[in-house]
Each structure stands twice: as C-alpha cells, then as structure tokens.
Structure 1
C-alpha cells in the first residue's frame, strides 16, 4: 500500500519533486497549486487548484484523504500558506516537512540594498528618475504607482492586467530559468540602472543577480519573511532521502 503525500507547490522544486516521487512505487502524490498562475506548466501527478479555506480546511483535507505527509514546497515568500501548513499539521497530526531553497548570498561586486517590504523598495528608489527592472509578482506592483517618476520594465509569468498606472512602463511575459548572458543583454537594451526583486534563491532567476554584478547595477532585494520553525531540507534530493526515513511503507 502506498503512502499518500500532499505537496503544496507553485515552485520549480515542487514540480520536480512531484515528478521524482511519481516514479516511486512507494508513494501516491497530490500536488496543490494556489491557482495564481493562469498558465501552469504540466505536472506528473494529480493537481488540485485553489485554496483550502485556511489551516482548518487544509487539516480537514489531510485527514479526509488519509495523507501521511504534508510537504510545504511553496515559494519562500508564501508566508501565509506556510503558516497555515504548520497549523494544519498540528490540527491534523499529519507530519510536515518544508522544501526551502537557500537564499542568495552577496558576493564581491554585488551592490545590494536589503529592505523589509515592497513599500520600502519604492522609497529606496529615491526621487530622481531611474530605469527600474521589476521582477515581482503581478499582485505586488501596485505600490510603485506612488513613484511615477521612474521608467519601469516589468517581467511576469502572466500579463499584468490592468497595467501599472505610471507614465512609462514596458512589459515582458516570460518564464524562467533566465541565463546570465540573456539578462545582461536585456539590462543593456533597456538601460536598467536598478533591479527590484525578492531573494528567491535557487538558479532559475539568479541570472539577473549575476548580470547586475557584472554590469555594476544596483539591486534592491525584498528580505524574506519569517517562516514557521518546522523540519526543512534545501533540495529535492534531500527531500527524497528525508521521506525514505520519515515515511516508511505502510
């Protein structure tokens, strides 16, 4: 009999983990997506889309479906989902483990400014007009309306609708991974002098960070939120090893 695992996903690691586990006869896997991305990539396991109704709703789903393990493989900035996962684990008694990629660390030549919130990033841009590259989620762009003096290049997985209400904004719809050499060309093409991003970690979106270092461009990084203190690993391989010990066959 297979052990049932629920993965809270939305990241490349969650997709890869689901693919790896789908080939393992010991496990039956369901992947949960919040549904914010309109064009999600295909997955190797059954996918559930949409919320659960908070921690209690998630706990009920875990018990009703007989899951033996909950994996939080959401984005490092999905603090509310991670908090609900931790609470749902306590309510249901289903063990929880997080897959959390390590944050990027500054290197020689990086010109980083760390801020606590997106509103702080808006202030950090300053009053003088700048060429700004925004690589944030569509739902997090509105605060930049308060700084209309800048010219913005905005990249997102899905189209930004409605557009940001500023005089000058260009939009790119694309999905990573992004190579450093391509990011260098992009930054030069749009004469970018500052990037605003989250410290997402991982290789998929690191190209812009390396490109900024190469070109001497400022980077304003939104600091990571505080996440629940739960068992955690940093990559898919470590998660597979963890499950082999923590979730023996039924």
Structure 2
C-alpha cells in the first residue's frame, strides 16, 4: 500500500506556509521611495512576509504615529524623530538603528545648468530654487544649513519654493517649475552616476549628517514581519541596494 504520510505532510506544510507569513506596514521617508521599492520584492522572496509602504515627510509621519496611525515600522529621514518616538514610548526600545546616511544634491532637469559645482547657485541667475519644508523634511533642513554655510540664504530667500516632502520638491524641478532644487541624491542617482539633468553633490561638511534611522513602532512589537524587515535591512543584500542609490552605510 502506498504510504500517504509524506503527501499529507507536504500538504500540511503548503497549507501552513501562508499562515506563517505576516504583513508589515512601513512609514517610509519620501527620499527612500526607490530603494524600498527595490528592497521589497527581495525581502518578500527571502522571508515570505509582505511589505506595505506609505511614503511622506518624516515630520508628518511623526504626527500621524502619535495620533494612532497603524504603522509597524518607521524608516525616517533623520535620527531625531525615531529617538523621540522611542523616548515617548511609541517605539520598541533597542530596535532603533541607522539604516542609511543620505546625501544632499543640488539638481536641475537641464543637463547644462550645473557643472558639478555651486557656481550656478552663487550666480543666482534663476527664478526659483526648490527645497523641502525644513520643519518637516530633514533634507529641507540640510538645504537651509547649506545655504547658510555658503552665506547665500538671505540673497536667495525670495527665490525659495517649498515642497511638503522631498518627493514634491523633486517634482518641482523635474517639471521645470523650479530651475534648481535641493533633493536627495537617491532620487536622481542610478548605477553610480546622475541619471538625468545636471547636479552638484553637496559636500557633507556643509550640513549636519543626514542619518536615517529605523524604529519598530509599538504596534509592530509582536509582528514577526517587522522584526524580519529590520534584520533584512542590516543584511549585505539590502546594503548593496541602498548603496546603489547613493547612500552611505
């Protein structure tokens, strides 16, 4: 007689696998949109869990999380917001770590506007300079710090246009509503070079480091998918993807 036990065991395992998979809802800083979209399928393939992402400004996510937004994990554009949430009891103690260090870039959709230096910024021959809201987006704050360090903030104040997130700021420049804009390098960098337009990569010395921290939130404390994603972000596989978008680790 045919032994049915192996078949029954196989059917049990197939039926059980989906039950072991969980979903992790992640609040993702807008600058990290492209990297997390590249990471998500690899994470899901490796773990069986599902990643559901929402994108926006870190400051806005802070307010949403404090008001009960159903996120399991925060991938912030700074290190201060996760630290604050952890200290306020909204995050899992000890789960916070720096998953990426961002780079600021002055970018134009026109390939001839920037020559790899700050010359065009200093010349001021443009109508609009886009930055992200410095109160909500760390890249916007870094842009203001850069202008101050260069002694240009007062001279260019009247030309600044603010996006509510770094995504909107990028759109202002991509659609030529602003000739120049300070955006995240990850938004315009592919395969080791600027993908389109022209740019000046801002030296790190001109602004505070953009350390981007991850934190498991209180809602995700018992979610194995949240812990799995945090572990995956520390892996060599994730590091390679993150660095391919111009971040440091």
Normalising by structure 2, report the TM-score.
0.40
Highest RCO, 1 vs 2 (Cα 8 Å, sep ≥ 6): 2
Larger Cα-atom Rg: 2
TM-score scaled to structure 1, two decimals?
0.40
The structure where helix makes up a greater share of residues is: 2
